[in-house]
C-alpha cells in the first residue's frame, strides 16, 4: 500500500512539473520500471561511478541501485528543486545535485570520469546544436569504454554520435508510455 501511495504522489508531482515546464519533462508519465531496467542493464555496477542526469522521480535511479551499484557511486543531477529534495530523502548515500544539466561544468565542476552516464533528458525537445554540445560534454566525462546511455521516444537516436563514438539501440520498450528506445553511445 505504501509503495502505491508513493507512486501516486510521484506521478502527481511529475504531472505538476509537466504542466509547469513541459519542455523539461518531455513525457506524460514517469519512465516505466521495464524501461528503467533496460537502461540499468547497460551499466556495469563495478565499472566505476555513475552519473544520472534528469532522474525525475527516481525510477531509473532505483533500477541502477537494484543492479548492484553502491549508493555512494551514484550521482544524480536534477533541475527541479522539489524532485532533487525528494531524491535525496529517497536514496540515502546517493549524491543529489540540484542544477542545470546543460551547464555541467557549473553544476558539477571538475570530477573524475564516470563508468557510465545515463541521460533521461528529453533531448528531442531541444535544438540540435544544444543536443550536440550536451552530448560532447558528456563524452568528455566518461572513462574509456564506458557507455553513455540515452533513452528517447523517437525512431532514431536523438543525437548523432560525438566524434569517435558509435551509437546502438539496445532495447525497444513498448511497455512504456510512450514507447521508448534505449540508445548506447560508446567510443569506437
CA distance 63 to 35: 9
CA distance 29 to 17: 11
Answer yes or no: is pLDDT of 54 > 50.
yes
The total domain count for the chain is: 1
Mean pLDDT computed over every residue of the chain? 89
Candidate from 2-16, 56-70, 117-131 with smallest mean pLDDT: 2-16
Residue 135: CATH number of its domain:
3.40.50.150
- 144 vs 18: which has the higher pLDDT: 144
Asked whether residue 5 is assigned to any structural domain, the reply reads no
pLDDT digits (tens, 9 = 90+) for 83-118: 999 999 999 999 999 999 999 999 999 999 999 999
pTM of the model: 0.86
Tell me which residue range forms the domain holding 65.
Answer: 31-187
Asked whether residue 11 is assigned to any structural domain, the reply reads no
**pLDDT band with cut points at 50, 70 and 90 for residue 32:** very high
Asked whether residue 12 is assigned to any structural domain, the reply reads no
- Copy the grid coordinates of residue 68: 548492484
pLDDT of residue 29: 73
Q: What angle do CA 144, 96, 101 make, to 5 degrees?
A: 60
* Alpha-carbon separation of residue 53 from 17, 31, 96, 183 (angstroms): 16, 14, 10, 15
Asked whether residue 18 is assigned to any structural domain, the reply reads no
3-state SS assignment for residue 2: helix
Asked whether residue 40 is assigned to any structural domain, the reply reads yes
pLDDT digits (tens, 9 = 90+) for 128-167: 999 999 999 999 999 999 999 999 999 999 999 999 999 9
Q: Report yes or no: 180 and 156 within 8 Å, Cβ to Cβ.
A: no
pLDDT of residue 174: 96
Asked whether residue 37 is assigned to any structural domain, the reply reads yes
Mean pLDDT of the 4-22 span: 49
Amino acid at each position: 500500500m505504501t509503495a502505491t501511495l508513493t507512486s501516486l504522489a510521484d506521478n502527481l508531482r511529475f504531472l505538476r512539473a509537466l504542466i509547469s515546464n513541459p519542455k523539461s519533462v518531455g513525457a506524460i508519465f514517469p519512465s516505466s520500471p521495464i524501461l528503467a531496467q533496460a537502461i540499468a542493464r547497460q551499466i556495469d555496477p563495478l565499472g566505476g561511478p555513475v552519473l544520472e542526469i534528469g532522474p525525475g522521480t527516481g525510477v531509473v535511479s532505483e533500477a541502477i541501485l537494484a543492479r548492484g551499484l553502491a549508493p555512494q557511486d551514484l550521482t544524480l543531477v536534477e533541475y527541479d528543486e522539489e524532485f532533487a529534495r525528494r531524491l535525496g530523502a529517497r536514496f540515502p548515500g546517493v549524491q543529489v545535485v540540484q542544477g542545470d544539466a546543460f551547464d555541467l561544468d557549473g553544476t558539477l565542476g571538475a570530477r573524475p570520469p564516470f563508468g557510465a552516464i545515463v541521460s533521461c533528458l528529453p533531448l528531442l525537445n531541444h535544438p540540435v546544436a544544444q543536443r550536440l554540445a550536451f552530448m560532447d560534454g558528456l563524452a568528455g566525462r566518461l572513462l574509456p569504454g564506458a557507455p553513455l546511455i540515452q533513452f528517447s521516444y523517437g525512431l532514431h537516436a536523438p543525437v548523432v554520435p560525438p566524434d569517435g563514438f558509435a551509437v546502438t539501440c539496445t532495447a525497444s520498450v513498448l511497455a512504456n508510455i510512450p514507447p521508448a528506445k534505449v540508445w548506447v553511445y560508446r567510443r569506437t
